[in-house]
Amino acid sequence: MSANDIPTREVARRVFAQEFNDAGYTFKESDDERAPVYVLLPTGERANRIFLVGTLTEKEDVGEDNEYWRGRIVDPTGTFFVYAGQYQPEAASTLRDLDAPAYVAVVGKPRTYETDDGTINVSVRPESITEVDAATRDRWVTETAEQTLDRIDAFDDDGNEYARMAREHYDLDTDEYKRVAIAALESLEQADELNA
């Protein structure tokens, strides 16, 4: 097996909850049944894995026969829902043992499902959940805002195939995500002023 044959993990994309919750379109880039499934972010990026940091505000065992944990994680723009069960034993165990509220970092796979009324909902199947401190959360907000703004800057580039896909599949204005990113940064500044 050569170095080129070694499977690599996809980069976990940083995305705010508001944009993630607007992302309902999924696709594969090959017909291979084991090909990764990507969610298309409205700012023109594909994501097979995401990295989020926020406040775990509640958790609940929603399983019937087995433990199946749902966590609600809030960032400055909205709410992520994470679900972990028997196939994510470490994440499920961490979620069970955490006391809300707590700052957490999550790396996981985006999942979409269609409700009976045709609405597409998104959630995260966590690969890992780690308790973190406020400084880590603040760095994530700053870096996620920067990456969101970078995606928006590249959105109108004719060579950006994922931006073209986003324009085809979403009727969303990227200016909204620019406002969200700037507001998230401003929320950090306001918190710093309150704590000074």
Q: Which pTM does this prediction carry?
A: 0.89
Q: What is the mean pLDDT of residues 135-148?
A: 96
Better pLDDT: 188 or 76: 76
**Strand partners of residue 74:** 55, 79
> Mean pLDDT for the chain?
90
pLDDT average, residue stretch 136-151: 96
pLDDT at 194: 56
Domain extent listing, the chain: 9-189
- 76-80, 111-115, 157-161, 167-171: range with highest mean pLDDT: 76-80
Contact 76, 184 (CB under 8 A): yes
Mean pLDDT confidence for 7-13: 79
pLDDT given for residue 2 in this prediction: 47
pLDDT given for residue 1 in this prediction: 44
Residues 74/37, Cβ–Cβ less than 8 Å: no
Respond yes or no on whether the N-terminal peptide bond of residue 101 is cis (omega within 30° of 0): yes
If you average pLDDT over each of 86-90, 129-133, 167-171, which comes out highest?
A: 129-133
Q: What is the mean pLDDT of residues 60-72?
A: 87
DSSP for residue 1: -
Q: Which residues pair with 39 in a beta bridge?
A: 26, 47
The per-residue pLDDT for range 99-139, each reduced to its tens digit, is 989 999 999 999 998 888 888 899 999 999 999 999 999 99
Asked if pLDDT for residue 69 goes beyond 50, the answer is yes
Per-residue pLDDT, averaged over 147-154, amounts to: 95
> What CATH code is assigned to 9-189?
2.40.50.140
- Asked if 82 contacts 95 with a C-beta cutoff of 8 angstroms, the reply is yes
DSSP state of 9: P
